[in-house]
Amino acid sequence: MTLLALPLPDFPLDRQDRPVPAETAADVRYLIRAEIDADILCRLLNQFALQGHVPMEVEASRREDWLDIALRVNTLPRYRAEVIAQRMRGMVSVCSVDLHVDEPRAVRSAT
C-alpha cells in the first residue's frame, strides 16, 4: 500500500503583522479575609504570578484567627480580575473576597 504525499499549506512565519488585541485594564482592589495559614499569601499571590501580573500594593494584618489582606493591581482587565476573585473564593482557607474595580483604561495585550 502506498500513501500519497499531501501538499502542506504555506503558513507565513512572520506573525508580527497581526494586530495585538486591545484590552481594558482597571485599577483593581481585592479585600480578602482568610483563616491563618502559613502559605495563604503565597497561594493568593500565585494567582497573579500565573497571569504575569505583579500587585502594586499588598497589605496583610493578623486579627485573632483571621488574616485580612488587601491587594491592589492596576494591570488587570475586569474579566480577568473577576476570574481571579472566583479562584480565590474557591480556596479552602479563604472566607471572603471582595472585588472593587475602578476606572478602566486601554492597554495593549502581550498575548
Q: What is the pLDDT of residues 17-40, one digit of tens each?
A: 444 445 678 899 999 999 999 999
Contacts for 108 with CB less than 8 Å, ≥ 6 apart: 20, 22, 23
pTM, 2 dp: 0.71
Q: What is the pLDDT of residues 94-110, one digit of tens each?
A: 999 999 998 665 555 44
Tell me the domain boundaries of the chain: 23-108
At residue 25, the pLDDT reads 85
At residue 24, the pLDDT reads 78
Which fold would CATH assign to domain 23-108?
Answer: Alpha-Beta Plaits (3.30.70)
